[in-house]
Amino acid sequence: METKVWKVDKYGDNLYTYPQIKEAAELLQQNEIVAFPTETVYGLGANALSNEAVEKIFQAKGRPSDNPLIVHISERKEVERFAENIPEKAEKLMEAFWPGPLTIILNTKPGIISEKTTAGLSTVGIRMPNHPVALALIKASGLPIAAPSANLSGKPSPTSFSHVYQDMNGKIAGIVDGGETGVGVESTVIDCTGEIPIILRPGGITKEEIETIVGPVDMDIQIKEEVENPRSPGMKYKHYSPNVPMVLVDGSPEFLQKIIDEKRQEGKKVGVLTTEERKDFYQAEKILTCGNRKDLSTVARSLFKTLRAFDQEKIDMIISETFPAEGIGIAIMNRLIKAAGHTVIYEN
């Protein structure tokens, strides 16, 4: 399959009228797959109403089809078309954070969204992305767009066109190149179908930010255990993984260097994932920086890009620092723990 590429300047006016966007939208209407940028990561888009279209997402990703997909919309009023019994707290969250990196789980109206999109569940995750290219494409297509991240299953999520092209060229109908994404980790997913909302995936909107709008919310027990006690078994599938094994080291820079030295003595070529503050401290075959510890949003923004950059290096393993599990740090640690297959070495 030939994969078409359209370059679009996200700062243009009336993007939905651009010929590139119109052509990409027509392919979506024909139940083809088109990758596009959002403010979090690139998504792999398909008509959320069509089983045939959504099945092509799973084929392209090489992903089992038992995971529900997020439905992307371009206007707030579309929620009522696909969901019912929308609680007041969900309305408040939409008002506060849409467009933006928040996916809200609601009860779905039967018989509209494809069962492949919802994985047969009675609920649907909906979000309105905060990216002009994404919004223009959704508007031009006239469809709700089902879209997981546009990477091969198990690989780090794509935050630039080149990442998508690397994984998806020849597998999908087209890629809209709208430049690099901003947030860098996927949207926060919150289930609003119960009395107290529950965060099912930490992401670009923090628990603290959500609680300023709707009061106390819960965090899924599996996230808590993964972030606070990564020795517990992992989720169903491996996620975000570079090509070589990765371990997290929870401890001082001195302790991390000790682990590096031990691995090098075993004959391994070691890559280190660190931050600007500590990059000169370590000695290893390859040292890559991922943002700034004083501002964890910079770490989130660079995380997947840095994990993918290691794949271009001749190393045998990656040793990564850990980060405080608070605010956006919870989302960062959630992704790192999965990328490392829950392998963490503790100093204490």
Q: How confident is the model at residue 234 (pLDDT cuts 50, 70, 90)?
A: very low
Same domain, 214 and 307: no
Same domain, 71 and 146: yes
In a domain, 240, yes or no: yes
Residue 301: which domain range?
229-346
Same domain, 64 and 176: yes
Same domain, 68 and 167: yes
How do residues 104-131 score in pLDDT, each as one tens digit? 999 999 999 999 999 999 999 999 999 9
Q: What is the pLDDT, as a whole number, of residue 236?
A: 44
- Check pLDDT > 80 for residue 74: yes
Same domain, 183 and 313: no
Report the number of distinct structural domains present in the chain. Answer: 2
pTM: 0.94
Same domain, 235 and 325: yes
Q: Which of 219, 238, 259 lies at the terminal end of a domain, its last residue?
A: 219
In a domain, 224, yes or no: no
Q: What is the pLDDT, as a whole number, of residue 229?
A: 65
Same domain, 166 and 133: yes
Same domain, 196 and 85: yes
Q: How confident is the model at residue 24 (pLDDT cuts 50, 70, 90)?
A: very high
Same domain, 203 and 257: no
Q: How confident is the model at residue 230 (pLDDT cuts 50, 70, 90)?
A: low
Mean pLDDT of 316-336: 96
CATH number at residue 332: 3.40.50.11030
In a domain, 60, yes or no: yes
Q: What is the pLDDT, as a whole number, of residue 232?
A: 38
Same domain, 210 and 245: no
In a domain, 314, yes or no: yes
**Using H for helix, E for strand and C for coil, what is the string for the chain?**
CCCEEEECCCCCCCHHHCHHHHHHHHHHHCCCCEEEECCCCEEEEEECCCHHHHHHHHHHHCCCCCCCCEEECCCHHHHHHHEECCCHHHHHHHHHHCCCCEEEEEEECCCCCCHHHHCCCCEEEEECCCCHHHHHHHHHHCCCEECCECCCCCCCCCCCHHHHHHHHCCCCCEEEECCCCCCCCCCEEEECCCCCCEEEECCCCCHHHHHHHHCCCEECHHHHHHHHCCCCCCCCCCCCCCCCCEEEEECCHHHHHHHHHHHHHCCCCEEEEECHHHCCCCCCCEEEECCECCEHHHHHHHHHHHHHHHCCCCCCEEEEECCCCCCHHHHHHHHHHHHCCCCEEECC
Other C-beta atoms closer than 10 Å to the C-beta of 14 total: 8
Q: Which of 219, 248, 273 lies at the terminal end of a domain, its last residue?
A: 219
Q: What is the pLDDT, as a whole number, of residue 235?
A: 42
Same domain, 52 and 153: yes
Q: What is the pLDDT, as a whole number, of residue 175?
A: 98
In a domain, 141, yes or no: yes
Q: How confident is the model at residue 42 (pLDDT cuts 50, 70, 90)?
A: very high
Portion of the chain with pLDDT greater than 90, in percent: 90
Other C-beta atoms closer than 10 Å to the C-beta of 330 total: 25
Q: How confident is the model at residue 241 (pLDDT cuts 50, 70, 90)?
A: confident
In a domain, 112, yes or no: yes
Same domain, 88 and 205: yes
Q: Which of 219, 247, 281 lies at the terminal end of a domain, its last residue?
A: 219
Mean pLDDT of the chain: 94
In a domain, 268, yes or no: yes
Higher pLDDT among residues 228 and 141, named by residue: 141
How do residues 258-304 score in pLDDT, each as one tens digit? 999 999 999 999 999 999 999 999 999 999 999 999 999 999 999 99
How do residues 244-258 score in pLDDT, each as one tens digit? 999 999 999 999 999
